Structure 1
């Protein structure tokens, strides 16, 4: 018998639509009950874009509206018995982007007017904060019950100006003014829930509302957004078999590929591995692996901030920090780490309890390759067509472990692209090699410590470990001499792979590889 087609909720952010149609729903209602019955009635959750924040907010709306029928068969039925209906004010700030002060104020007034209609309220109050106060009070008095206020993507109007010293304070004041009534309206409020990408600053937007509980890093909410491996194996087992068939492999191999590409997120520690839900569902829907989340939009401000803080590609991950260093307000950040973490480009990979230190790194292959692709215009060339063609050809040569052919291709490629600034240092070419090798899908690292020095680039393929030393306006022979003089291979003697030494000389005048030397390390 042919299995009924499964619909995947890609872009579906309304809980009622998802439940009334044959969409897959990963049950998060246990979290909904826990959130709404916690000690605090003011709650904030930060997660990257397309991680299910809007669907969670819509689920909370359905819960507070007492729509019991939508929750039939879900986990929340074990605990909820009353299903009380409350008045709900659901604000969606996602459309408040790219607006100036007047446009943002009009957008807020439009949302208020839309919600006022739900309660038959007419108002011509011009100030957004006074009008919000009036709406909360009148909704409570009209229904005889306290109000649930749900604010989705609270920070959306500020994200594109977070790096702008002139526009950020102006728009921040608009939002601060709008949110200011929430504390004064406490007697009228049953629950307040806010989602966003960046962490709020109580000193800026929520200057008066100082009793918000930030649940973003609490262990009990580790899986509140995203999809865990257990959820895939229990709630998507049949889907995994279908995907494996489309990929021409086994379910376990399909799982391994999904894990490599879309898994690896942790928002607390310890935590189950969390898969990017957008990319995961797209892979099941399309029947193939692709760069779905990263391809859906890389904010321009991210690239601008990488340049502002002078962060080279190889330094985006591999960071050790305390929680206060990355789970911090982005408008006052002194490094790019908070923005990278809260936007989902790096995530928690380990935690040292002795020193309260977290290890942060790029979560998975999709993000690593996506980041490298977005940085190519700044380090190599804006010509994406020639870059993609080059990467495909290089990947084929490296699949054969033909480093010599790969370097020939790179030499030709670099010699044909226009002049790029910042090409007069060894560090620039070190980053070029890092970007190229990362695009090939292999593990690469730079400035790797050994007992006698640092290896410029370490590249690991499934079959070989390459130790690469790069020189500028010298010779490949000089680069190889340094590898041998400092005995870099000794540090990797137990890696379990053949070690190949590669000395490369870059020609500053030609802006490409001059010559290179390749030697296989002899096993002692």
Structure 2
């Protein structure tokens, strides 16, 4: 099988006989039932391929769709004038870059459809192009915009430049409303849906299908599609990894499934990771490694976010569905970027519960966070295998020595708020260890507790800040934390730890 890894052009994909998961039934419904749309999906999720497929469809290229659902649904196969804007490649951190790229598109369209001397602004020129294209071709125009929000994401901390871009695009996109009589179809995609700083504050005729149950699977791969389209690949992957096909399907599900863009909807597999896995016949964090979430981590640290809440977040629909660059809540941006997904919905209070979609995202995100929240990666790298070997071999003393070395020489710049720093750092350590051992972390009132279980040992850990290790151990005993394991035959270790804000590290520990 030929897997279209990185291929976003529908015509190339079809002509070169790459695998294509047929989305054309949904595309036909999209075109048949509406006119103006917006879709938000994480990066590398198939948005550009969807735009390219729409472009081929509206170009009347019937031969490219032979064997697909839309081939028999569409009878006319008309060719429309298409204005396709791709904002993927530009560097918007440089002032004037947005004008340059829009001007380039307009110049090319004006060569094709003509221009007027009176059209001196981007908006007037776009308006004129739309009208002349429709009149010259005898059919209304199709407008496709890929990654409309790229300029906002790249300039999130530059409010002045963002305001300039907003004013340019506000007038430019207004054509979608004022030239309605000349427009057959318009489709905008992006990673995020911005509220107050973008097109959506004024362009209210767009239908947002990001959480529309009819089109949930228009990007990405469902389990049904995985089994139907990747039979050969699943068999090859099973042979390569020495597992049964059922075990292979479960491994794929754990690593790459789990995206829910509406409560109660089917799970969606990350297409980029699935294609890479099938192509290379090995599992890896393919999607995560294509873009590091440094910007999102900066938001978390800027707003002093408690990382443990990442998997406990409950958020209302109006917040989850729109991002405001002035907001102090980093979660909507993290959700829309694909690092969190919908895990449940509280009908009574109209709140969504969020969490990590799958193992690839959770493990990748936590490992990426660790060196940015601690000194790990610099003076004291976190070697999870060494920590796990310590607990599996029943050596809590060596485990704590490693922990002390891990926190040694942490800078004040990293620490900031000592209590929050320690909470976040310990959360990351135990969560990452949890991928290899069973770690539970009941927490309350700022305490850091952990229960680590292996086949032979149980570790109950209580941490204090600017107190004593004895006090931490006393709390374990006074609160009878070991009670649930009274009948367990495994050896139990109780570890009290004190963390010092003055030394910014583990000051002392006691083991019972």
Shared fold (TM-score greater than 0.5)?
Answer: yes
> Are the structure 2 counterparts of residues 133 and 508 from structure 1 closer, same or farther at C-alpha, using a change threshold of 3 Å?
closer
Residue 238 of structure 1 is matched in structure 2 by 232
Helix, strand or coil: the match of 2:5? coil
Q: CA deviation at 1:81?
A: 1.9
| 3-state SS in 1 of match to 2:199 | coil
Cα shift at 1:92: 0.3
Q: Is it true that 1:291 corresponds to 2:285 in the alignment?
A: yes
Residues of 1 paired with 2:107 and 2:416: CA distance? 55
1:58-457 alignment runs, 5 A limit = 58-117=52-111, 119=112, 121=114, 125-201=119-195, 204-381=198-375, 383=377, 387=381, 390-398=383-391, 403-415=396-408, 421-422=414-415, 425-442=418-435, 448=443, 456-457=448-449
> C-alpha root-mean-square deviation of aligned residues, in Å?
2.9
- Greater Cα shift, 88-97 or 299-308: 299-308
Contact 1:43 1:215 (C-alpha < 8 Å) held by counterparts: yes
Q: Residues of 1 paired with 2:454 and 2:124: CA distance?
A: 63
Question: For the structure 1 residues 284 and 403, does the alpha-carbon distance in structure 2 shift closer, same or farther, using more than 3 Å as the test?
Answer: farther
Partner SS, residue 274 of structure 1: coil
Tell me if structure 2 keeps the 8 A contact 1:380–1:420.
no
Question: 2: CA distance between counterparts of 1:100 and 1:156?
Answer: 13
Displacement of 1:196: 0.5
Which one of the candidate residues 7, 18, 22 is aligned to 2:13? 18
Q: Distance in 1 between matches of 2:188 and 2:233?
A: 33
**In structure 1, distance between residues paired with 2:189 and 2:236:** 34
| 2:88 and 2:146 in contact (8 A); partners too | yes
Q: Tell me, yes or no, if the aligned pair for 2:166 and 2:197 is still in contact at 8 Å.
A: no
3-state DSSP of counterpart to 1:91? strand
Displacement of 1:276 after TM fit? 1.4
Change beyond 3 A, Cα 1:238–1:179: same
State the partner residue of 1:27. Answer: 22
State the alpha-carbon separation in 1 of the partners of residues 116 and 278 from structure 2. Answer: 47
Paired positions, count: 508
Q: 1:153 Cα shift?
A: 0.4
Q: In the aligned structure 1, how far is the partner of 2:490 from the partner of 2:447?
A: 17
Q: 1:470 aligns with which of 445, 450, 463?
A: 463
The superposition leaves residues 309-346 of structure 1 with CA deviations (integer Å, 9 ceiling, x where unpaired) of 21132223310121112111333534112101111111
What SS does the corresponding residue of 1:158 show, helix, strand or coil?
A: helix
In structure 2, what is the Cα distance between the partners aligned to 1:480 and 1:323? 43
Distance 2:64 2:350 in 1: 42
* 2:80/2:140 contact within 8 Å kept: yes
- SS class of match (1:10): coil
CA drift of 1:20 comes to 1.0
Q: Could you tell me whether the CA contact under 8 Å between 2:442 and 2:449 is conserved in 1?
A: yes
TM-aligned CA distance change 1:19 to 1:439, over 3 Å: same
Cα distance change of structure 1 residues 495 and 269 upon mapping to structure 2, 3 Å threshold = farther
User: Kindly tell me: are residues 214 and 115 of structure 1, through their superposed partners in 2, closer, same or farther at Cα, counting changes over 3 Å?
Assistant: same
- Matching residue of 1:47: 41
- Closer, same or farther: CA 156–465 of 1 in aligned 2, 3 Å: farther
C-alpha distance in 2, partners of 1:494/1:227?
46
Distance 1:307 1:185, change over 3 A: same
Q: CA deviation at 1:204?
A: 4.1
Aligned equivalents of 1:512, 1:246: Cα separation in 2: 45
The CA distance in 2 between the partners of 1:174 and 1:465, in whole Å, is: 61
Per the TM alignment, residue 253 of structure 1 is displaced from its structure 2 partner at its CA by: 2.0
Equivalent-residue separation in structure 2 for 1:36 and 1:368 (angstroms)? 36
Distance in 1 between residues matched to 2:458 and 2:266, nearest whole Å: 30
Mind listing any 5+ residue stretches in structure 2 that lack a counterpart?
none
TM-score normalised according to structure 1 size: 0.88
Name the SS of the counterpart of 2:74 in structure 1. Answer: coil
TM-fit CA distance, 1:419: 6.2
Instruction: Answer whether contact 1:455 1:467 (CA < 8 A) is retained.
Output: no
Q: 1:91 to 1:503 in 2, by over 3 A?
A: same
Stretch moving more, 171-180 or 295-304: 295-304
CA positional deviation for 1:403: 4.7
**Aligned residue for 1:3?**
none
Deviation at 1:252, TM superposition (A): 2.1
Q: Answer whether contact 1:137 1:185 (CA < 8 A) is retained.
A: yes
The one-character-per-residue Cα deviations of 1:390-417 (angstroms, maximum 9, x if unpaired) are 2332244455575554333222333366
How far has the Cα of 1:514 moved from its partner? 3.8
Conserved? CA contact 2:241–2:282, under 8 Å: yes
* 8 A Cα contact 2:496 2:509, kept in partner: yes
Q: Any conservation in 2 of the 1:42–1:191 contact (CA below 8 Å)?
A: yes
CA distance in 1, matches of 2:447, 2:172: 54
